């Protein structure tokens, strides 16, 4: 690290010594400015790289989430189809039973109605 004596202009009384010190100081300032500019460029490059990496990770996460949502939708649709099939089969069995034994079905319906009437009478 440069000390203050390195950075301050020399106070020599000789004419050439002062000019040489001033030139040396200017050269150091230019070197420092170049280093600062290089650091700024490096920081910009790092920021750009981090931005690209985070954008890629977000894209990957979005793709995984989209894939999972599609799989869940497919599973849900499959379960819904299965439930509808089961309800249709139960309805068909009930209709077949009523056709085969209509008096039993009417008696069961009357019994269920009577039970509901008793329960709702309170």
Structure confidence at residue 95 as a pLDDT band (50, 70, 90): very high
pLDDT over 60 (residue 119): yes
- 3-class secondary-structure state, position 13: coil
The domain spans of the chain are 4-120
Pull the structure tokens for residue 3.
Answer: 């000390």
pLDDT over 70 (residue 17): no
Termini Cα distance of the chain = 95
36 or 13: which carries more pLDDT confidence?
A: 36
Whole-number Å distance between alpha carbons of 116 and 114 = 5
């Amino acid at each position: 690290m440069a000390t203050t004596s390195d950075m301050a202009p020399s106070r020599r009384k000789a004419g050439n010594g002062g000019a040489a010190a001033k030139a040396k100081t200017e050269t150091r300032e230019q070197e420092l400015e170049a280093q600062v500019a290089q650091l700024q460029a490096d920081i910009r490059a790092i920021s750009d790289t981090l931005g690209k990496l985070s954008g890629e990770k977000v894209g990957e996460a979005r793709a995984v989430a989209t894939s999972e949502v599609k799989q869940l939708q497919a599973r849900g649709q499959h379960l819904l189809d299965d439930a509808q099939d089961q309800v249709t089969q139960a309805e068909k069995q009930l209709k077949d039973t009523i056709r085969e034994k209509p008096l039993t079905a009417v008696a069961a319906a009357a019994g269920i109605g009577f039970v509901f009437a008793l329960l709702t009478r309170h």
